[in-house]
Structure 1
Amino acid sequence: MKKRWLIWLLSIPAFMVIYLESFFTEGNALAYNSQAECIPKFIFTPKTVQYCSEVYPIDVFLIALKNPLSYICIILGFFIIFYPVFRLSKSLLYRPK
């Protein structure tokens, strides 16, 4: 039981490091690209923006999905959120009477 919580605790810094690597750096790299390079990558951001730094966060997320580390980040995020919920619901539902 304690091993599972230790894995959960260790997944938090792993999530943060991978998040910074995949999403945060991708957004920063996109902001410094030339306009000719970044505008074709936009899906939701209007093509009439003057600077690449005006990109919408959803476009940064979608562009970052090209990096395989971003999928690990998403899985770890779900694990961080839903594991305590799972443990709490399991302890509340299967409590002996």
Structure 2
Amino acid sequence: MDLCLTIEEWSGKPVGPASSVREALDLLSDTPECRAAIVDVNLPDGDIGPVLDVLKERGAAVVVSTGFALPPDVQARHPDTMLLRKPTPSKRAVETLIALMAGP
């Protein structure tokens, strides 16, 4: 919830949180205008690769929050994914996402 509040403070509109890959995919299906996401790598129903695939197809800015690394197969498909190591303050995660949205 802290992350959602921080996104709102920066004038963003949270479309989550999603507590599973399936829920994240459903949210993305229902929200085609989603242009950015902060994704946790450890969702209970498996590989976040499909979520990253949808976001990449949309050209969305993505930050992955993790205590470890991306699984090797996901890393191979998404080598340029921005990783933030847990614990990451919500403000830093949102600022990183905004910087990605602004481009180089």
Q: Which of the pair is proportionally richer in helix?
A: 1
Q: Which of the pair is proportionally richer in strand?
A: 2
| Structure exhibiting the larger radius of gyration computed from Cα positions | 1
With a CA cutoff of 8 Å and minimum separation of 6, indicate the structure with the bigger relative contact order: 1
Which category of TM-score, normalised to the shorter sequence, fits these structures?
under 0.3
